[in-house]
Amino acid sequence: MKVLFATGNPGKLREVQAIFAPLGFDIEQLVDEYPEIQADTLEEVVSEGLKWLWERHKIPIIIDDSGLFIEALAGFPGVYSAYVFKTLGCKGILKQMEDLDNRRAEFRCCAGYVDANGHIILKTGNSQGIIIHEKRGSGGFGYDPIFMPDEFSQTFAELDMESKNQISHRGRAFEELASTLKE
């Protein structure tokens, strides 16, 4: 079954394609920038985005809204992760955290699907870990080089995609979505 994934992020696209491929779903990119509303939660952003996309296309579409929530920064950059990554990058986050001992952080992902009738399914996933003191690794994308998941001594950027998908916020959210769709 072919499903379109509305995203402009090639890193997300690769990861989601790898999760769905074994289940027989063929994920193709839909290049259509939906409005990301100003909201407190990823779920609101996804559900409004899906409604907007459904009005335009009326076909099955998936989207992903995700972010990095840093405990000592009261959840920042959170729902602003994309903007902060573009403006400050990993370097800016490391600078903000220079003198902080509490390095706890969580990646969260909301995976959403709308079917041809406008019915929406949302699944969430998260991954706990710490923000290290300097960038490490060249894989992945975004904040991967500064995030080390619990029980690992590598950052997301040092893990291969399959290993990252097994423990990541996106992997967990989309695994759940994929199994619901499979039913």
Q: What string of DSSP letters covers 58-74?
A: -S-EEEEEEEEEEGGGT
Which amino acid is present at 69? F
Give the nearest residue (CB) to ligand ITT.
Answer: 142
Catalytic choice (65, 99, 150, 160): 65
Q: Are 75 and 19 in contact (CB under 8 A)?
A: no
Query: What is the rounded CA–CA span in Å between residue 40 and residue 42?
Result: 7
Tokens of 109: 């992902």
Grouping H, G, I as helix, E, B as strand and the rest as coil, residue 183 is coil
Say if CB 46 and CB 122 are below 8 A apart. yes
Q: Shortest distance, CB of residue 59 to ligand ITT, whole angstroms?
A: 18
Binding ligand ITT by CB under 6 A: which of 3, 27, 30, 65? 65
> Rule CB under 6 A: is residue 141 a binding residue for ligand ITT?
yes
Taking every pair of Cα atoms in the chain, the longest distance, rounded to a whole number of angstroms, is 51
Q: Is 172 in the site for ligand ITT (CB under 6 A)?
A: no
Residue 101 is among the residues annotated as catalytic for this protein: no
Q: Does the protein bind ligand ITT through residue 168 (CB under 6 A)?
A: yes
Residues 47, 81, 124, 155: which binds ligand ITT (CB under 6 A)? 81
Closer residue to ligand ITT (CB): 32 or 115: 32
Active site residues: 65
The contact set with ligand ITT (CB under 6 A) reads 7-9, 12, 64-68, 81-82, 85, 107, 140-144, 156, 168, 170
